[in-house]
Amino acid sequence: MWSLHQKLKALSKELSKWSKECIGNVIDKVMALEHEINHLEDLYDIDDSDHNREALHRTQAKYIKWLKQEDSILRQKSRLKWITEGDTNSKYFHSVFRDRRRRSQIHKIKDKHNIWVEGCRSDQILHTHTCLALIPKVNAPDSFSQLRPIRD
């Protein structure tokens, strides 16, 4: 049993080394792609050429791939923590739900003139127009393409 434990420990070290060399830091890649998408969106707003649109779509596809990878890693880590902490009335349990609630809030919305509206004015827009409830696909969505409708 001891030799199996040692072999698994050695395998774990090798897999960690391989992951760092081949995959790298997933969270840093996601953040870098977010900045790149913001830059490409600005370029596309200035010049809506096919080249800029294609570059934006390619980067968004990469972003989605790395975002799924990050989500997978975070889910695995949270499961490990959940197993050790449990679902008791713990600080961790409440922090998970607070974070989910915070991420699902819409802080600003674009009006019909394509201007970002925050705070009280956004309530006026929502009350004077037909409203569709949307859920963010990503943290801090910047456009409607990053939101999805709530379905029954």
**Per-domain boundaries in the chain:** 20-91, 101-152
DSSP secondary structure letter of residue 119: T
pLDDT of residue 119: 62
pLDDT of residue 75: 84
Q: What tens digit of pLDDT does each residue of 56-104 get?
A: 999 999 999 999 998 888 888 877 776 666 656 667 777 877 887 777 7
Cβ-count burial of 106 within 10 angstroms (0-12 exposed, 13-18 middle, 19+ buried)? middle
Residues 22/23/28/32 CA torsion (nearest 10 deg): 90
Q: What tens digit of pLDDT does each residue of 12-65 get?
A: 899 888 888 888 888 889 999 999 999 999 998 888 889 989 999 999 999 999
pLDDT of residue 26: 87
